[in-house]
Amino acid sequence: MRNPFEELFNRREHFERRVKTEQQERKQAADLDNARFDTRLHEKQRYDEMVTQLLTQFKDAFNPHLQIYSYNNGWSVGRWDKQTDNSLRLYSVLDVNLVFERDDTAICFEVTRHRKKARAALGYEELAEAVRKLFLD
């Protein structure tokens, strides 16, 4: 005698296989994203000391009361202000971000002052020149 629910059983097995495959694909994608994040973070750490030194010199010359903030893919110079709703907002005077190639290697810095942007090579002198141009030109 044939099981009347055999088709339902087969559908459930098919669904469970599909769910398991999707979970494995999501895990592989997350692992790849984590590896890319780690690679980019390692690239940022290579330049961290140089950029922090340059931004400290900039901050001391421009306004010693500003602070330097470092985050996943860049640095900011600015100040935190308390808003009327008791939230905090960062007013950034200068942002420096790394620009990455498709293989997650850094290719240059992108320096932003409000809406003005400049790109600089990965050296101290080039970055200093880009910051100087944004503030003096």
What percent of the chain is modeled with pLDDT above 90?
Answer: 53
User: What pTM was estimated for this model as a whole?
Assistant: 0.75
Report the domain count for the chain.
Answer: 1
Residues of the domain holding 88: 6-136
* Interatomic CA distance for residues 27 and 43, integer angstroms: 24
Alpha helix segments (H runs only) across the chain: 6-62, 124-136
The count of other CB atoms within 10 Å of the CB of residue 69 is 16
SS3 76: strand
1 found inside a domain: no
89 found inside a domain: yes
111 found inside a domain: yes
Beta bridge partners of 69: 76
End-to-end CA distance of the chain: 88
Give the contacts of 36 (CB within 8 A, at least 6 positions apart). Answer: 104
Tokens of 81: 């202000």
pLDDT band at 1 (very low <50, low <70, confident <90, very high): low
126 found inside a domain: yes
| Amino acid residing at 93 | V
**pLDDT tens-digit series, residues 29-61:** 888 788 888 998 999 999 999 999 999 999 999
